[in-house]
């Protein structure tokens, strides 16, 4: 599995999903092309999925927000008879390398979190309308929806058969949402997660595994009724979407070049440098932003940074350190962000802010060592300043650098950092950073809009180090060399624990607790060994387990 994985797609290329739009309701059909998998060696039978299916779903969800703001309810259903979705493809999982399995699960989790949040954030609710078997990752799709409907036809069911069948966990949020969203009684959760056959409508309703059981004969009518109810909860008239035109990207052996982002790949050093280039003049008003649409810097930069992060995650596993830089005029970044903040009741401005929130979360959750270099000429301001707090360490250039004509490094905070871009733990990055000293959050907020040089930023606790021209190069080099020398696994485990202090949410629990246990199991011989369940599934051989408990 070494081919390059591309996260860019559009509806003309979909092989697994189709959508019917009807006013404020969208019907989203999962209809997986058996032969449309990303890799050879398996067929995506019974609406099972691999990453190719999820890349399209992520695109669907993203375009729904930007291209179809008129939609208030998305009904997710199957395009096949007798099966809703059989979950992640087992042969794919059995054959995939550990890192791919882990990255695949993380991306699918991020996508599910995105559409789970769409109802509350954007008044775009997801309804899952289940006919046929809805198993494993299929039911985890449903669990992330706002409302689950199941036909009461005597055979359709929801199930999480991972444990008994495959010796792995329902790791795409399943276990967490069963206990913390559906709030299943613990012994019932234990039963439900241990049986292959799952629950049909009456039992599923009694146990709160679904929200509504619907007679099969009336299924389409009741689904349509619910969709209109959900869509009617918020106002969508007058919203006119913008087209998410293809991003500009050139990939070479050593770099990725976008219109606002550049990624330099240093394979010898084991690191990648992402530079975000700041904008020129901001659109004059919100109408101009709508006119610019996907061409607006503030949306382009988010899309390109998002793509760059995903590319590194999946295609550049050996680049363990990611350096984040910016270049440009901080005042212009602030102007672009201010247009959004000042017009946060405009749907497009709101969506772009929400997208930045997601992109920044994607950075938080990227298991690479992250470092920000605040150099002369940089524009860590507004939402780009959040990158300084998303990383593990921040170096800031202090004062004038010889033979460097660019402006001295400055940082400018905006109000955006104080609530617009919360982390998965639902705190701002500065609240998380200053968990023990909330007064430091206030001190930083008091400086909103001020140009902060390295001394000022350091005094406020916003950077890890401030180095002048004499020390900068050596200090940065020593850090990068040291970081590259550490065990990548220890880094992953350490960062997963240090980055998310404070309260836990369903999201942090999915990525911190559930994912960690799933990753552990994904290495265990009882799952992935020659006689393990993932390998023996479908061969007619029973798995053979080492019975020792850990």
Residue numbers 265-284 binding its own copies by CB under 8 A: 270
Q: Which residues contact 209 (CB under 8 A, 6 or more apart)?
A: 148, 158, 178, 182, 184, 192, 199, 203
- 413 vs 514 by CB, closer to its own copies: 514
Q: Single out the segment in contact with its own copies by CB under 8 A; choices: 198-206, 326-334, 346-354, 387-395.
A: 387-395
23 is an interface residue for its own copies by CB under 8 A: no
- 330 vs 512 by CB, closer to its own copies: 512
The answer to whether residues 327 and 378 touch, using CB atoms and an 8 Å cutoff, is yes
What's the closest the beta carbon of residue 367 comes to its own copies, in angstroms? 6
Six-digit token pair at 353?
Answer: 């802010």
What's the closest the beta carbon of residue 477 comes to its own copies, in angstroms? 16
530 is an interface residue for its own copies by CB under 8 A: no
- 361 vs 483 by CB, closer to its own copies: 483
Contact mark string toward its own copies, 208..247, x via CB under 8 A: x---------------------------------------
- 19 vs 496 by CB, closer to its own copies: 496
- 300 vs 499 by CB, closer to its own copies: 499
DSSP 452: B
Q: Single out the segment in contact with its own copies by CB under 8 A; choices: 78-86, 348-356, 410-418, 516-524.
A: 516-524
Binding to its own copies in span 104-163, by CB under 8 A: 162-163
Q: Specify the DSSP element, H or E, that contains 130.
A: strand 125-130
In order of 54, 145, 352, the CA distances from 138 in angstroms are: 12, 11, 29
Q: How far apart are CA 397 and CA 375, in angstroms?
A: 5
- 184 vs 333 by CB, closer to its own copies: 184
SS3 (DSSP) at 513: helix
Q: Taking the CB of residue 468, how many other CB atoms lie within 10 A of it?
A: 12
- 28 vs 319 by CB, closer to its own copies: 319
Binding to its own copies in span 173-202, by CB under 8 A: 175-176, 178-180, 182-191, 193-194
540 is an interface residue for its own copies by CB under 8 A: no
Phi, psi angle pair for 395, to nearest 5°: -105, 130
Among 320, 330, 382, 416, binds its own copies (CB under 8 A): 320
| Tokens 């241990």, located at residue | 194
Q: Specify the DSSP element, H or E, that contains 230.
A: helix 219-231
Q: Single out the segment in contact with its own copies by CB under 8 A; choices: 31-39, 252-260, 303-311, 481-489.
A: 481-489
Q: Specify the DSSP element, H or E, that contains 387.
A: helix 386-390
Q: How far apart are CA 375 and CA 278, in angstroms?
A: 14
What's the closest the beta carbon of residue 176 comes to its own copies, in angstroms? 7
What's the closest the beta carbon of residue 448 comes to its own copies, in angstroms? 20
Q: Single out the segment in contact with its own copies by CB under 8 A; choices: 46-54, 131-139, 274-282, 515-523.
A: 515-523
What's the closest the beta carbon of residue 187 comes to its own copies, in angstroms? 4
361 class by beta-carbon count within 10 Å (0-12 exposed, 13-18 middle, 19+ buried):
buried
Q: Single out the segment in contact with its own copies by CB under 8 A; choices: 33-41, 132-140, 247-255, 315-323.
A: 315-323
- Beta strands in 382-502, from DSSP E residues, in sequence order: 393-397, 411-412, 465-467
Among 250, 253, 318, 403, binds its own copies (CB under 8 A): 318
Among 253, 268, 538, 547, binds its own copies (CB under 8 A): 547
- 343 vs 519 by CB, closer to its own copies: 519
In order of 28, 226, 291, the CA distances from 239 in angstroms are: 20, 22, 13
Q: How far apart are CA 260 and CA 304, in angstroms?
A: 7
496 is an interface residue for its own copies by CB under 8 A: yes
Q: How far apart are CA 361 and CA 168, in angstroms?
A: 26
Contact mark string toward its own copies, 340..379, x via CB under 8 A: ---------------------------xx-----------
SS3 sequence of 47-71: HEECHHHHHHHHHHHHHHHHHCCCC
Among 299, 491, 507, 535, binds its own copies (CB under 8 A): 491
Q: Single out the segment in contact with its own copies by CB under 8 A; choices: 70-78, 80-88, 212-220, 523-531.
A: 523-531
Binding to its own copies in span 399-418, by CB under 8 A: none
- 269 vs 293 by CB, closer to its own copies: 269
First to last CA, the chain: 31
C-alpha torsion sign, points 345, 348, 349, 354:
positive
The site that binds its own copies (CB under 8 A) totals a number of residues, namely 90
Longest alpha-carbon distance in the chain: 77
- 94 vs 320 by CB, closer to its own copies: 320
- 355 vs 380 by CB, closer to its own copies: 380
Contact mark string toward its own copies, 57..86, x via CB under 8 A: ------------------------------
Residue 499 falls in which region: left (phi positive, over 0), alpha (psi -120 to 50) or beta: alpha
Binding to its own copies in span 427-446, by CB under 8 A: 432-437
| Tokens 């295609």, located at residue | 315
What's the closest the beta carbon of residue 90 comes to its own copies, in angstroms? 14
Among 251, 461, 469, 537, binds its own copies (CB under 8 A): 461
Q: Using alpha carbons only, give the angle 330, 334, 335 rounded to the nearest 5 degrees.
A: 115
Best CA proximity match to 135, nearest among 155, 114, 116, 115: 155
- 87 vs 543 by CB, closer to its own copies: 543
Six-digit token pair at 520?
Answer: 């552990």
């Amino acid at each position: 599995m070494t081919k390059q994985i591309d996260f860019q797609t559009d509806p003309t290329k979909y092989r697994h999903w189709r959508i019917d739009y009807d006013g404020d309701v969208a019907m989203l059909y999962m209809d997986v092309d058996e032969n449309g998998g990303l890799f050879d060696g398996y067929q995506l039978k019974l609406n099972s999925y691999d990453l190719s299916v999820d890349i399209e779903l992520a695109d669907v969800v993203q375009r729904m927000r930007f291209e179809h703001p008129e939609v208030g309810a998305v009904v997710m259903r199957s395009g096949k008879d007798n099966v809703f979705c059989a979950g992640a493809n087992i042969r794919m999982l059995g054959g995939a390398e550990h890192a791919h399995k882990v990255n695949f699960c993380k991306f699918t989790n991020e996508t599910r979190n995105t559409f789970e949040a769409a109802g509350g954030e954007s008044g775009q609710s997801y309804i899952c309308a289940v006919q046929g078997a809805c198993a494993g990752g299929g039911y985890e799709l449903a669990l992330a929806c706002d409302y689950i409907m199941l036909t009461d036809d005597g055979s359709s069911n929801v199930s999480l058969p991972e444990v008994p069948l495959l010796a792995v966990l329902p790791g795409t949020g399943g276990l967490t949402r069963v206990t913390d969203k559906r709030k299943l009684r613990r012994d019932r959760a234990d039963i439900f997660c241990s049986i292959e056959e799952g629950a049909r409508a009456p039992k599923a309703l009694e146990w709160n595994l679904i929200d509504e059981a619907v007679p099969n004969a009336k299924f389409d009518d009741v689904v349509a009724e619910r969709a209109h109810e959900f869509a009617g909860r918020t106002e969508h008239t007058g919203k006119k979407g913008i087209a998410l035109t293809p991003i500009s990207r050139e990939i070479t052996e050593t770099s990725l070049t976008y219109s606002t982002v550049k990624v330099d790949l240093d394979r010898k050093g084991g690191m990648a440098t992402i530079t975000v280039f700041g904008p020129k003049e901001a659109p004059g008003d919100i109408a101009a932003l709508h006119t610019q649409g996907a061409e607006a810097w503030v949306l382009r930069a988010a899309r390109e940074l998002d793509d760059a992060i995903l590319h590194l995650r999946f295609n550049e596993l050996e680049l363990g350190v990611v350096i984040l830089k910016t270049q440009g005029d901080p005042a212009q970044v602030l102007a672009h962000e201010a247009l959004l903040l000042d017009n946060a009741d405009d749907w497009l401005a709101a969506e772009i802010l929400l997208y930045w929130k997601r992109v920044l979360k994607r950075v938080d959750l990227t298991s690479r060592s992250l470092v920000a270099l605040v150099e002369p000429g940089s524009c860590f301001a507004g939402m780009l300043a959040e990158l300084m707090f998303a990383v593990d360490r921040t170096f800031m250039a202090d004062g004038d650098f010889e033979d460097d004509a660019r402006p001295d490094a400055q940082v400018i905070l905006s109000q955006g950092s104080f609530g617009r871009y919360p982390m998965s733990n639902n705190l701002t990055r500065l609240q998380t950073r200053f968990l023990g000293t909330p007064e430091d959050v206030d001190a930083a907020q008091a400086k909103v809009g001020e140009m902060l040089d390295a001394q000022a930023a350091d005094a406020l606790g916003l950077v890890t180090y401030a180095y002048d021209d004499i020390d900068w190069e050596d200090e940065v080099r020593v850090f990068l060399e040291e970081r590259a020398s550490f065990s990548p696994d220890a880094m992953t485990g350490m960062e997963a624990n240090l980055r998310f202090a404070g309260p836990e949410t369903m999201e942090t629990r999915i990525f911190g607790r559930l994912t960690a246990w799933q990753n552990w199991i994904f290495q265990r011989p009882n799952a992935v060994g020659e006689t393990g369940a993932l390998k023996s599934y479908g061969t007619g051989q029973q798995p053979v387990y080492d019975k020792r408990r850990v």
